[in-house]
Structures are given as structure tokens and as C-alpha cells.
Chain A
Amino acid sequence: MSSTAPSAPASGEAPKVSKISEAVIRIAGNSQDGIQAIGGFLARLAGRSEQEVMTFMTIPSTISGGPSIFQVRIGSGEVLSAGDEADVLLCFYQHSYEGHINSLRKGGIVLFDADHVTPKPEFEKDYRHVGVKISSLTVEAIGGTAKDKGKNIFSLGLVARMFDLNITKLEKLISERFAGKDESIVKNALAAFHAGYGYSFGSLTDLFQFTESQQQGRTQVVMNGNEALAYGLIAAGVRFGAGYPITPWSDIMEALRRELPKYGGMFIQCEDEIASAAMALGASYAGRVAVTGSSGPGIALKMECLGWGIMAEVPLIVVDIQRGGPSTGMPTNVEQSDLNIACYGSHGDAPRVVLAPSNVEDCFYTAIEAVNIATKYNVPVFILSDQAIATRIEAFPEPDLQKVWQDITPDLSPVQDHKPYDLSAANGYVKRIVPGTKIASGKYPVATGLEHDEMGHPTGSPKLHAQMTAKRRKKLQVLAAEVGTPKIYGPPEGNVLLVGWGSTEGPIREAVDRARGAGDSVSGLNIRHISPLPNGLENIFSGFNHVLVVEMNDEGLYGYGQLAAMLRARFCDPKIRAINKVDGLTYKVKDILDRMKAMLNAKA
């Protein structure tokens, strides 16, 4: 919480009001306490107030119960990560208090439910303790016997008071949220909220006020990564999907099942992961590129189908919301350990496209890019997201839907002749035609997983296998030249380049900012195109003494994470080294900087 100047001097009973540009609030309770709702309201409010926001949450992988947290970082300037340390910890229970006090910065505020939490003397010297009888005051405000209901909204009121949040906007958000439900529910929620807001902190704590946002005048939408991905696919023109439930992918299938019928499309819940990949391929073969997706073990099951799509040159979108692996692993934790399966899974020489969105907004646009690459190059495309992006909420500038909207309905006009696997095609691909298309020559193609001739008929010819293998590879080399070199964050030359992919982009950028602020020569690079890698990376790397690849995966048998190993294989450059971790949590900026310094010192 970066204070600028106190706006009012502290005098007597009136609490001091400080101007701040950003704040990190961590809410800790149990999974059924509705703490996600508090976080959701705060995030949405930030979106409507033209502020930036990023959230982070953990949920237990059990159906109900278990500790859960929701962290919100709101800022009037750029917000790149969910924040290393919290400024305020709102905790409902003793276990939430003791378990999360370490996430609070020294001097931060613990706002605790005095009905359930007893402060510990060893913490009292380092943190400012503010006890409010949240549970009993909620019951007092809305009556009834439901012991836990409404205390989240009461707490939202407390936070609103503490940070001088826009009450009118919050009231509207609460009313919208419960709209359509019984009127008494809205009334109770507002009563709880007002009771919290009306609570008099007295001299217990300072109060805060956000500075004016630097993002004046932009309209923002607020959503999580899975929503952005689903809506991106719809905007891209996808009208068919198939899947099987698995965390954290399921949100996307639920969203598409719910939304696609509005656009004349459908999403089918299948008997298993293999069927869903097969069904999406069938729909793709017959028309518009279709989507399947999964997480963890489900991705492994789709690999044979993926190989068929590559061999038959039938497009497909495969969404992979990565979680901790291998096997069932850590279903509700983040990890970036599916890069290898996305790039190399399935047998044989099977080149495919892998894209990794770096934040929630990027999920929307990556979905569109993936659809366009799949359609143009007749190839399966992986969208490699992860649990952290999937579940975190961000506010981002509203996309211009009319402009990005696509119609990818296939053209069924008759053609004279068609060779689906034309070896003379300039860039290794032809415009695909689909069933229902009349071919005047009377010669029809077969889509096949067997090695084939130019019409798709099986062949055992060694020459054709070599030519077709090269064709499938070459078209992606054409793509590599087309995607363009990624932009460096910071100066193009210096001592250290921190390389990342996917959701580490935010913390890496913040690490770069912080390091540069301290006078260190550090730049950052996020690679969105994982396969094929864009051309020109070697030119970027040549500007730095150290290239450190930051990933949320293990250092592997040979000391390098999955992207680091690929980059080393690609560039044979010993200055490419790896920073890895597998604790199931996102990177803190401090982690990255500490690890970077340790590596540089070890070398010296």
C-alpha cells in the first residue's frame, strides 16, 4: 500500500485518512464463507472505477469446507500480479489468522472477527490488530439464526469504510448480484453491508483513499481467464465443442454449454476425454474448427486423437488448463508442467501449434488467434492456460466485439478438383474443403491417420512418407516466420533477461520494474508462441549476459525447466539457465528477484 501524502491530520477521535495508489487485501476463511463473493465485488468495483485489479484465490479440492483464501490487489496504476504481501488481512477464524499472518507485510492491518479469533501477543507487535465482532454484528444487523450468512457482505462493508470505496456503485453491484432472487435477500444483503459500512473504527485504524486512476475514460470488463477464453472462442466463430468434466477446465465447458446455443452452436458433454477429442475433430472435419479441452490427466487421454488431427491435417483447438501433475497431482494448484505434453505428446513426428496466453485479457485474444491459425494451417492448436489465469479475475479494456467478430462458416461451393495433401502447395497447406462440397472431377478425398498420398489414400511409399512428414513440418516453419518476434520488456540489451511464458508474465514484469528501480540491468521477455517458437529469439538473447527462464515446473533430470530445455536445445546457448519451482503457487516478485540474485552470485 503505497502512501503518498496524508490528506487530513490525525486529530482526536477522527481517524487519519491516507491517500494510496494501490492495496492488497487478503481474505481468509473457509470455502463456504462466500469470501470469493467479497473478492468478486471488489474486483468488479475496481473495474467500474477504471482501476486495475488482479485477484488470486485458493480453494480446497474438496466439495465443501476447508480453508480458502481470496486476495485482491487494486491499483490506480498498472497491476501486474496479485501482490507479494498483503496490506490488509481479513480473517474469519483462528486458523485463517495464524495461517495467513505471514502473508501480511510488517505494519499491515489484521482485520479479524473478534467472535472467533484471539490475537496472539507475538504477532501484535508487528501488525496492527483491528478486532470487530463480525459474526455477532451480522446477526444483529439482519437477525435470524443463520450463523454464518451475510458476514461476508458485512465484511465488505467494513472494507468499504476502511478504503472509502464508492458506496453507490457497491450497492448497485450487490443489488445486481442478487437480482431475480427473493426481495428479502437483496434487503438482507444491503442491511449487512450498511451495518459493516456504518461500523465506527474510531482510532482503531487509519482510513484510506485511492488516488485518481490513471486509466481515466476506459470501459473495462471484469472476468476470470476461463471466461475470457470461452468468450474468445465464441467471438472467433467456434460453434461446436466437446468435453468431459475436470478441474479447472470445467468452467469453460459449462460456459460454452450455456452460451453456445445463443449463437446456434452446441457443446456436448461426452462419456470420456477421448470421445470429446474425437467428437470435436469430427465436427472440425465437417465444418468450423471445434474445441475440446481438459486439465491434467484428461490431456494425456486426448493424445492419440491429436496425432490424427496432425496427420489428417484437420484443425482442432485443445484447451489445457494446467494444474499440478503428474497423474491426479494437485488438481486446484497451478503448475506449468504441460509444456512438454502440449509440444511433444502423441507418438511419431507430430508438429503442432502451442500458444500460451499471459493474462486474462490475453486469453480472449489468444483464443481468436488459435482459431485462425488452426483454420489457416489445418492443424491442431493447443491453448496452454493454467489454473492461476483460469481462476483469477482481472479488469481489462473492453474488446471491440463488432471489430473482432468472425464468421468461419465453411464455404460449400463446388470445386473442380481438390487435393487435401497437395505436395506442391506453396506453404505446405491448402484451403480445406468439408463434406457437402461437390467435386466436379468426381475424385473425393479421405481424411486419414495412415500415411497417405495427396488424395488421402494409404501409401507405404518411403518417399511419400518423407515428403508428407516434411510438409507437415514446413507449414509450421512458415507460421514461425509469420508470428513475429516477441517484444522485450525493458531495454533490448543488458545483463539479465528474464524469460517466461504464460501467467508468469505479470510477476516477471514487476520483477523487472523493481530490479531496474534498484539500478540493476534486467529486462523481461514473455514467449506466447511456444510451438513453433518465433524466429529471431537468438537476436534478443544476444543482447544479454544471462538468459534466465522462469517457470512453474521442475528443473527436470538435467537441470532445466520445460521451456528452458527447449530453448537450450534450439539455441545451444549455455547462458540460458533456469529458475524453477513446484509449490503449486504463483511466483512472488521477491522469489524471482532472490533466485535471480542467487544465480548471479553463484556464478561470480
Chain B
Amino acid sequence: MQMSTQTLPSEAAQTPVAVNPTVAERKGLTKKELAADHPTWCPGCGDFSVLALYFKLLEKRKLHQDQFVSISGIGCSSRFPYFVQAHGAHFIHGRALPFATGIALSRPDQHVFAFSGDGDAFSIGGNHFSHTARKNVNMSLVVMDNQVYGLTKKQTSPTSPLGFKSKTDGWGAVDHPINPLKQAISMGATFVARTTSTNPNHVLAMMEQAMDHNGFSFIQCLSECVEFYEGAFDSANPRKGGVFNEVPKEHDVTDEFAAYQLASTPFPGHFGVFYKVNRPTKNEKEAEIIAKHRAKVGEAKDWQILQKTFDRLK
């Protein structure tokens, strides 16, 4: 077999996880096996819960270390890959998505999970958030949104509400905040969900659906910064006297306009899947282009394909 003709390193790896018997038989990894460095987050940080539920997801879905990668940018939340005992990369600020795209496109045998924060995903990486959504790259993005820059100690973030007092807006934030759900929907994301770190079962349910979605799946996960924006999400937490409103049962997740409208509900808004449609993924489109070209070259060895090109340049 001409290995170099394959985008994938191995044929076996192309078999979907769900139908691969060798995988189905094995046990899920335990939290002990999956935990790496002790998280550097502040006690009480919402990100602990997201990490714990990621471990749960990997265990429940029996994903082993040769089947997934965890990728992040820069920020408190982006320390994530260090805490997971698996292949992972801690990339630069704002660019986790294009980096993860490079993996997702060249290694379709891998589940690609990207973890990010509101500054990383919506501010410095805002362009990539839009374009990864529109390209519908097959991967999942979890943004731990705390509405503040935590790692740099309390500056205004793109999701900080108007009036939020930060070190860069001592008088209260004046710039209109981004609504990430609306941005994702309008840019062509095919899976858009919202959850909150204080509702573990819901976080896990969203992660599972995101993982199963074929295409770019985006989860906005409210995750409180107890140090710099304490109580930000109390009104979404029943234990703190708030309300946890799920997306209404009658909401049609394939209705773009309805999803957009639902995403406009003022805080605490709704939780659940806002939008989910099937559109060919970037992975499928590229695979189609490759298949078409490979069919044309037939049985030729790779070097013979270039030889043919060179013969035309004589």
C-alpha cells in the first residue's frame, strides 16, 4: 500500500470509533488515569467542573489516549491540556481553532476538543471563531465564559456586560458585549449549545451531543471567576436563588431564526441546544476533492503522478 497517498496515517484508524470492536470492548479510562497536573485554577473556579466532566465524558465514551487530543489557546481556561493525561497542545493566544483545524483535517481518526475562554475565543481569536464555524470543521469547542480576563487579573472581556467595573473600565464597561451564540449561528456553526458549570449533568449532556455532532460544535459554558467576577452567574444558579431555564421543548433546533431569537433572551437566558443542523463538513468536502483526484490518477504510484506533471513541463 502506498502509505504516502493517505492523509490518514493508517487505514485502521479510519474506522469510526463506535463500530470498531477492539475499541468497544475496552474499558473507559478512570479519572485517575486521565488526571495529570493538579489544576492551577483558584479554589471555587468554575473550570474545575468542566475538567471533571470532560474526564467523565472520556470515561463514559471509552475514548483512549490514542483517539483524542485536547487543544487550547491562552488564558485561565486554556491551561486545560496540562491537566489531562493525554496528547494535547497549549497553543498561542486566540489561535487554538486554526491549530485544532490542522489536526482535525489531517487526522480524521482523532476526536479534536478545543478549550478556550471568552477573551481567547471571541476577542483575539474572534476571526477564527467565525471562520471555523463557517467551514464546519469536524471538532468541538468548549468556551469557558467568565465574562472577564482572569489570568491578567480583571480587565474587561468581550462578553463583560455593560457597566461591569474592571481595571480597564473603572467606571464600568462601555462597549456592547458579544453574544457568542448569535455570532456562531450567523457565521454558520452547525451545533450551538449553552450550559453552565454549576449544572454538571447538563454540561455532560451538552459535551456528549457536541462530540457526536458531525461538524463544528460549539458550547458556551458559563464558568464563574470567583476571584474577579464573583457571583456573575448567580441568577442562572438555582442554588444561589437563580433560575436554570432549559431551551423550551417546542424549540425547533433546525430553525435558524428561532435559535437566533432564543439566543437574544436577556441573562440568565436559556440552556441547552439552540441550533443543530447537518451540513457537509470541511473534512467531507476535502475528502471528496481528494477522492475525485485519486480516482483520476488510478493505480499510478505517487512519484509517477509528479512524473506525468513533469512530462508536460518539457
B88 closest partner in A (C-beta): A446
A286 within 8 A of B: yes
Q: Mark B260-302, 1 if CB is under 8 A from A, else 0.
A: 0000000000000000000000000010011011101100001
Chain A 502-544 near chain B by CB (<8 Å), digits 1 or 0: 0000000000000000000000000000000000000000000
Indicate whether A457 sits within 8 Å of B100 (C-beta atoms), given known contacts A401-B307, A409-B3, A447-B89: no
Judge if A115 is at the interface, Cβ distance under 8 Å.
no
The reply to whether A235 and B303 form a contact with Cβ atoms under 8 Å apart is yes
A318 CB to closest chain B CB, in angstroms? 14
A290 interface hit (Cβ, 8 Å): yes
Q: Are B289 and A282 in contact (CB under 8 A)?
A: no
Chain A contacts for B296, CB-based, 8 A:
262
| CB contact list, A216-249 vs B, under 8 A | 219-223, 227, 231, 234-235, 237, 239-240, 242
The reply to whether A290 and B95 form a contact with Cβ atoms under 8 Å apart is: no
Q: Which segment, of B44-52, B101-109, B149-157, B162-170, faces chain A? A: B101-109
Which residue of chain B is the closest to A275 with respect to CB atoms?
B98
Contact of A443 with B by CB under 8 A: yes
Task: Report whether A221 and B107 are in contact in the complex, using a CB–CB cutoff of 8 Å.
Answer: no
A444 touches B87 (CB 8 A): yes
Instruction: State whether A223 touches B313 (Cβ < 8 A).
Output: yes
Chain B residues within 8 Å of A222, by CB: 313-314
Residues of the A chain whose Cβ atoms lie less than 8 Å from the Cβ of B98:
242, 270, 274-276, 278-279, 282
Size of the B side of the interface (Cβ < 8 Å), in residues, is 64
> Would you call B4 and A239 a contact (CB within 8 A)?
yes
> Are A221 and B306 in touch, CB under 8 angstroms?
no
Q: Which residue of B lies closest to A438 (CB)?
A: B66
Is A259 interfacial (CB 8 A cutoff)? Answer: yes
The yes or no answer to B203 lying at the interface (CB within 8 A) is no
Known contacts A264-B6, A398-B310, A457-B37; A278 and B91 CB within 8 A of each other? yes
What residue of chain B has the Cβ atom nearest to residue A409's Cβ? B3
Closest chain-B Cβ to A5's Cβ sits at a distance in Å of: 32
Residue in A47, A272, A410, A446 whose Cβ sees the most chain B Cβ within 10 Å: A446
B5 at the binding interface (Cβ < 8 Å): yes
Question: Which residues of the partner chain B approach A446 to less than 8 Å between Cβ atoms?
Answer: 81-82, 88-90
Q: Within the assembled complex, what's the spacing in Å between the Cα atoms of A448 and B71?
A: 10
Report how far A277 CA is from B46 CA in the complex, Å: 32
A278/B306 in contact, CB under 8 A: no
Knowing A265-B7, A278-B91, A410-B9, say if A286 contacts B33 (CB, 8 Å): no
- Report how far A475 CA is from B10 CA in the complex, Å: 31
Q: A348 at the A/B interface (Cβ < 8 Å)?
A: no
Q: Using Cβ atoms and an 8 Å threshold, which residues of chain A touch B3?
A: 407, 409
Q: Which of A280, A434, A435 neighbours the largest number of chain B CB atoms within 10 Å of its CB?
A: A435
Interface residues of B in 47-91 (CB under 8 A from A): 64-69, 71, 81-82, 85-91
Q: Give A2 to B6 CA distance when docked, in angstroms.
A: 53
- Which residues of A are found within 8 Å of B310, using beta-carbon distances? 221, 231, 398-399, 401
Cβ contacts under 8 Å, A412 to chain B: 9-10, 13, 66
Q: Which residues of A contact B66 (CB under 8 A)?
A: 412, 435-438
> Which residues of chain B come closer than 8 Å to A490, judged between CB atoms?
none
Q: Could you say which residues of chain B place their CB within 8 Å of the CB of A237?
A: 4
Chain B proximity of A306: nearest CB distance (Å): 10
Taking CB as reference atom, which chain B residue is nearest A263?
B302
| Nearest A residue (CB) for B85 | A444
CB contacts (< 8 Å) of A223 on chain B: these are 313
In the complex, A263→B297 CA distance in Å? 9
Q: Which chain A residue lies CB-closest to B102? A: A282
CA distance A596 to B101 in the complex (A): 52
What residues of chain A lie closer than 8 Å to B65, measured between beta carbons? 438-439, 444
B101 contacts A279, C-beta separation under 8 Å = yes
In the complex, the chain B residue whose C-beta lies closest to that of A307 is: B92
Are B4 and A409 in contact, with the CB atoms below 8 A? yes
Is A305 a contact partner of B95 (Cβ separation < 8 A)?
A: yes
Main secondary structure of the interface of A (DSSP, over half): mixed
Complex interface: chain A residues within 8 A of B86 (CB) = 444
- B90-124 residues at the A interface, CB under 8 angstroms: 90-92, 95, 97-103, 105-107, 109-110
Complex CA–CA separation, A402 to B101 (angstroms): 32
Categorize the interface residue count of chain A: 35 or more
Contact across chains for A287 and B303 when beta carbons are under 8 A apart: no
In the bound complex, do residue A264 and residue B131 qualify as a contact, i.e. CB atoms below 8 Å apart? no
B305 CB-CB contact with A under 8 Å: yes
A242, A271, A286, A402: which has the most chain B beta carbons within 10 Å? Answer: A286
| Residue in A272, A279, A442 whose CB lies within 8 Å of B99 | A279
Task: Tell me, rounded to whole Å, the shortest Cβ–Cβ distance linking B169 to chain A.
Answer: 27
Is B127 engaged at the interface, CB distance under 8 Å to the other chain?
yes
- Whether B128 is near chain A, meaning CB under 8 Å from some CB there, is yes
CB distance from B103 to the nearest CB of A (A): 4
| Contact mask for chain A residues 359-377; partner B; CB cutoff 8 A; 1 contact, 0 none | 0000000000000000000
Out of B5, B97, B107, B303, name the residue touching A264 (CB < 8 Å).
Answer: B5
User: Any chain A CB within 8 A of the CB of B22?
Assistant: no
Judge whether A240 and B37 touch: CB under 8 Å: no
A287 to B296, alpha carbons, bound, how many Å? Answer: 26
Q: Assess whether A174 is interfacial by the CB under 8 Å rule.
A: no
| Residue among A219, A237, A275, A445 with the highest chain B CB neighbour number at 10 A | A275
- Considering only residues 552-599 of chain A, those with a C-beta below 8 Å from chain B are none
Q: Does A450 contact B (CB under 8 A)?
A: yes
Residue of B nearest to A231 (CB): B306
Residue A312 interfacial (CB < 8 Å): yes
Q: A444-B86, A449-B91 are in contact. Are A278 and B10 (CB under 8 A)?
A: no
Bound together, the chains give a CA A242 to CA B100 distance in angstroms of 13
Interface centre among B6, B99, B294, B307, by most chain A C-beta atoms within 10 angstroms, is B99
B103 touches A282 (CB 8 A): yes
Check if A235 sits within 8 Å of B306, measured CB to CB: yes
User: Nearest Cβ distance between residue A440 and chain B, in whole angstroms?
Assistant: 11
The winner among A44, A234, A279, A439 for most chain B CB atoms within 10 A is: A279
* CB pair A285 B95 closer than 8 Å: no
Cross-chain contact A435 with B99 (CB below 8 angstroms): no
| Also in contact, A275 and B95, with CB within 8 A (given A263-B4, A435-B103, A442-B33) | yes
CA distance A437 to B309 in the complex (A): 35
Picked from B67, B289, B303, B312, the residue with its CB within 8 Å of the CB of A261 is: B289
Q: Is there contact, CB below 8 Å, between A290 and B106?
A: yes
Q: Do residues B90 and A449 form an inter-chain contact, with CB atoms below 8 A?
A: yes
A448 x B306 contact (CB < 8 A): no
Query: Which residues of A (277-297) have their CB < 8 Å from a CB of B?
Result: 278-288, 290
Q: Which of A48, A234, A274, A408 contacts B95 (CB 8 A)?
A: A274
Instruction: Bits for A480-513, please: 1 = Cβ < 8 Å to B, else 0.
Output: 0000000000000000000000000000000000
Asked whether B110 lies within 8 Å of A436 as measured between CB atoms, the reply is yes
0/1 per residue, A446-485, Cβ < 8 Å to B?
1111100000011000000000000000000000000000
A401 is contacted by which of B10, B286, B306 (Cβ under 8 Å)?
B306
B107 and A436 form a contact (CB under 8 A): yes
**Interface flag for A123 (CB, 8 Å):** no
Most central of A237, A268, A307 by chain B CB within 10 Å:
A268
Q: With the chains together, A219 CA to B67 CA distance in Å? A: 48
Cβ of A98 within 8 Å of any chain B Cβ, yes or no, is no
Chain A residues positioned under 8 Å from B309 (CB to CB): 231, 259
Residues on the B chain within 8 Å of A259, using CB: 309
A405 CB–B CB distance under 8 Å: yes
Our pick among B81, B109, B127 for the contact of A275 (Cβ within 8 Å) is B127
Of listed A44, A237, A276, A444, residue having the most chain B CB within 10 A: A444
- Name 15 extra pairs, CB < 8 A, besides A222-B313, A261-B292: A234-B306, A261-B293, A266-B289, A272-B127, A282-B89, A282-B103, A283-B102, A401-B307, A436-B109, A436-B110, A444-B86, A444-B87, A444-B88, A446-B89, A448-B89
Which residues in A have some Cβ–Cβ distance to B below 8 Å?
Answer: 44, 47-48, 176, 219-223, 227, 231, 234-235, 237, 239-240, 242, 259, 261-266, 268, 270-272, 274-276, 278-288, 290, 304-305, 307-308, 312, 398-399, 401-402, 405-410, 412, 434-439, 442-450, 457-458
A-B contact pairs, 11 of them (CB 8 A): A231-B306, A261-B294, A262-B305, A266-B290, A275-B128, A281-B91, A285-B102, A304-B92, A412-B9, A436-B109, A446-B89
